Chains A and B, each alone.
Chain A
Amino acid sequence: MLEQIFQFLVAGITVGSIYALVGLGFALIYNASDVVNFAQGEFVMLGAMTAIALLGAGLPLALAAIAATLLTALTGLLLERCAIEPAHGASVVTTIIITIGAAIFLRGVASLLWGKNSLPLPAFSGNEPINLGGATLLPQSLWVLGGTVLLVGLTRAFLNRTLLGKALLACSFNPAAAQLVGINVKVMLRLAYGLSAGLGAIAGILAAPITFSSYEAGIMLGLKGFSAAIVGGIGNPMGAVAGGLLLGILEALGAGLISSGYKDAIAFVFVLMVLFFEPTGLFGHKVAERV
């Protein structure tokens, strides 16, 4: 039984770290403009699908991954420039609706480019399961975990330690004041979308060997990532990670110990409880104070 629970935990952490990685991408755009970008899941899908396509075209895996990340970042940037920027001055809700439209558009383009089948990406370091005290996990899970730790660290450092990151945060608190002290808000927003898309792409590429990818893979990943982000407190990179892991572990334990039929219900009831008692998320107090 103990061995089983250990395996449940491993499964939960694997899935949870994927949610966390996706959730992380929400933070940057939210920090820059208070907007929840519902096309974030599509960035995740674009990253994975582009990498798969480039790999298919003969590029080595590492190169395909890097190129896919850059291309997706560019897509994010273009999205901001062509769809978000023209709506300058619109309310947050309007912008969110634009991102939903962008998500549908990106999904459509992906289905035309790559068809409607799920596609695999080969694992980075083989498929030989690693045995950990009776529980097994795939080497790719370690890549996802490592990627999560690294990217969270980088995002946090970027937002809190660099001038650029602080400028980004300033744009969200008060765009007019930020403009007055010489921050180019427009450029900051483009940067936020580009970086978010890049982060999403990395998440997609790291997870694709486990989850596969298809033109609509972004819907579910985006939803779960968003849940992770709000549970942890949206805007806080550490929150996304905690939220993602919590969600993943709850799903796995719920499926394993109670019933696999109620897996999602258990996780979403938890999300509702968190929102009910801690509307700013588990780690979201800081945001509330700063406002």
Chain B
Amino acid sequence: MLIQRLIRIFIAIMLLAGVNGVSAAEPIKIGTFLTVTGPAAFLGDPELKTLQMVIEDLNAKGGLNGRKIELVHYDTGGNAREALNFVKRLIQKDQVDLIVGGTTSGDSLAVIPEVEKARIPLISLAGAVEIIEPVRKWVFKVAHTDRMAAAKIFEDLRKRGLNKVALITGDGGFDKSGREQVLKLAPEYGMTLVADESYGNKDTDMTTQLTKIRATDAQAIINFGFGQAPAIVTKNIKQLGINLPVYQSHGVASKTFIDLAGEAAEGVRLPAAALVVAEQLPDTDPQKPVLLAYKKEYEAKHGPVSTFGGHAYDGIMIAAEAIKRAGGTDKAKMRDEIEKTSGFIGTAGVFNMTQKDHMGLNLYAFKMVEIRDGAWKIVE
């Protein structure tokens, strides 16, 4: 009996010592909630792979401030309510130090009140401008906004001397938010919208809407959306013999779009992050080495890169830099350091965050590209 009790005490002491030993170099816990399944899976999938890859690299180099990084991930499936539950769990149960994530704008917007309440830094990977406008103390984002995309498209239209545009958008959050920005910005650029059509993101034929657009005096067509629908729109435009310049959004800046739309994609223009045209950038471009390095590493492991994975790279790297500068995981210090991010060269552009701008990208971060011979060409 005594021996048994002694053994038990011994084990208990060992366990306690073990726990203490761990706490000395306790890992930095980074939480993330991404859409790895569901309609937005093609966004969240490369994001998660990128986060895992970057964290593996950082850990192989000894971690941050001598501490390893641990990633805690939950898949929201694109359901904003789930996103909120998972973020609560990340904060309360997993007790993460910082959160990188929110693949979709819906997921990100849903968790903002909780994050603000818990006073924990959040770096969102989603597009909608509402995430950082108005500025929230603890919320940052790294993906280009839909407003930037709309502005870039209008700039290009103005250069070509076109001002009557037809708009066609899907029924998703990204589409709707993009549509709003287009409608809002059009007067500023002297654009007249002659059509404003919509479709369901899972629809298989948009010729009806495009037939209506064909009957207007539009000089160009703008399609805001992601997934397969924009590819169908592009094919349908060709099918109906509409010979107008077609603009897509940054939502389709992946090889998949070219594969899906095939020949019909020729001549389509869209604002895209420099990642898709990394090789074409002049050697003097500061982004080039960063882009090529990320691309090379990702493609060696997982196949073609997408700009969305790039956003995850930017998010985790900005977080890592901030943790290094903060010298630890004090939440307020990390937040301050993220806000001080300046001159950080990411895949989406050069980030210069301020108190008033929790994204820190300017229009220069977008390149206007055209699809020629099945590949992206910079047309600026």
> Residues on A close to B: CB < 8 A?
4, 7-8, 10-12, 14-15, 18, 111, 115-120, 122, 127, 129, 136-138, 207, 210-212, 214, 216, 219-220, 251-252, 255-256, 260-261, 263-264
Interface residues of B in 18-47 (CB under 8 A from A): 37-39, 41-42, 45
Q: A11-B207, A117-B256, A118-B256 are in contact. Are A260 and B198 (CB under 8 A)?
A: yes
B231 at the interface (CB under 8 A from A): yes
When A and B form their complex, which 8 residue pairs have the shortest distance between CB atoms, in order from nearest?
A: A118-B228, A116-B41, A211-B204, A220-B202, A11-B207, A255-B208, A7-B211, A256-B208
Bound: A254/B201 CA distance, A: 17
B325 at the interface (CB under 8 A from A): no
B212-233 vs A: 1/0 string, CB under 8 Å?
A: 1001000000000001100110
Q: Residue B211 contacts which of A8, A120, A127 (CB distance < 8 angstroms)?
A: A8
* Number of residue pairs spanning A and B whose beta carbons lie under 8 angstroms apart: 96
| CB nearest to B45 among chain A residues | A116
> Residues on B close to A: CB < 8 A?
37-39, 41-42, 45, 171, 197-200, 202-205, 207-209, 211-212, 215, 227-228, 231-232, 235, 238-241, 256, 259-260, 262-264
Bound: A201/B205 CA distance, A: 20
Q: Residue B198 contacts which of A122, A216, A220, A261 (CB distance < 8 angstroms)?
A: A261
A11 adjacent to B208 (CB under 8 Å): yes
Q: Residue A111 contacts which of B41, B211, B263 (CB distance < 8 angstroms)?
A: B41
A129 adjacent to B239 (CB under 8 Å): yes
9 other A-B residue contacts (CB within 8 Å) besides A136-B240, A210-B205? A11-B207, A116-B37, A116-B41, A117-B256, A211-B204, A212-B228, A255-B208, A256-B209, A260-B208
Bound: A210/B204 CA distance, A: 7
| CB nearest to A212 among chain B residues | B228
A-B contact pairs, 18 of them (CB 8 A): A7-B207, A7-B240, A8-B208, A8-B211, A14-B205, A14-B207, A116-B37, A118-B228, A119-B259, A119-B260, A120-B231, A127-B264, A138-B239, A210-B204, A219-B202, A255-B209, A260-B198, A260-B209
Q: By CB atoms of chain A within 10 A, which of B211, B235, B241 has the most?
A: B211
Bound: A111/B332 CA distance, A: 40
Bound: A115/B239 CA distance, A: 29
Q: How far is the CB of A215 from chain B (nearest CB, A)?
A: 8
Q: How far is the CB of B312 from chain A (nearest CB, A)?
A: 16
Measured between beta carbons, the chain B residues less than 8 angstroms from A252 are 205, 208
B39 adjacent to A120 (CB under 8 Å): no
| CB nearest to A118 among chain B residues | B228
Bound: A117/B197 CA distance, A: 25
Bound: A263/B199 CA distance, A: 8
B264 adjacent to A111 (CB under 8 Å): no
B207 adjacent to A260 (CB under 8 Å): no
Bound: A210/B206 CA distance, A: 11
Bound: A131/B226 CA distance, A: 30
Measured between beta carbons, the chain A residues less than 8 angstroms from B264 are 127
Bound: A129/B210 CA distance, A: 15
Measured between beta carbons, the chain B residues less than 8 angstroms from A264 are 200
Bound: A120/B256 CA distance, A: 9
Q: Residue A15 contacts which of B204, B240, B263 (CB distance < 8 angstroms)?
A: B204
Measured between beta carbons, the chain A residues less than 8 angstroms from B240 are 7, 129, 136
| CB nearest to A107 among chain B residues | B37
Measured between beta carbons, the chain B residues less than 8 angstroms from A255 are 199, 208-209
Q: How far is the CB of A212 from chain B (nearest CB, A)?
A: 5
Measured between beta carbons, the chain B residues less than 8 angstroms from A263 are 199-200, 203, 208
Q: Residue A120 contacts which of B203, B204, B260 (CB distance < 8 angstroms)?
A: B260
Q: How far is the CB of A59 from chain B (nearest CB, A)?
A: 19
Measured between beta carbons, the chain B residues less than 8 angstroms from A260 are 197-199, 208-209, 212
Q: By CB atoms of chain A within 10 A, which of B207, B232, B263 has the most?
A: B207
Q: Residue B37 contacts which of A10, A111, A129 (CB distance < 8 angstroms)?
A: A111
Bound: A116/B75 CA distance, A: 14
Q: How far is the CB of B43 from chain A (nearest CB, A)?
A: 9
Q: By CB atoms of chain B within 10 A, which of A12, A252, A255 has the most?
A: A255
| CB nearest to A115 among chain B residues | B45
Measured between beta carbons, the chain A residues less than 8 angstroms from B227 are 118
Bound: A50/B212 CA distance, A: 36
Bound: A256/B208 CA distance, A: 6
Bound: A220/B201 CA distance, A: 10
Q: How far is the CB of B194 from chain A (nearest CB, A)?
A: 15
Measured between beta carbons, the chain B residues less than 8 angstroms from A117 are 42, 256
Q: How far is the CB of B24 from chain A (nearest CB, A)?
A: 40
Bound: A119/B260 CA distance, A: 6
Measured between beta carbons, the chain A residues less than 8 angstroms from B198 are 260-261
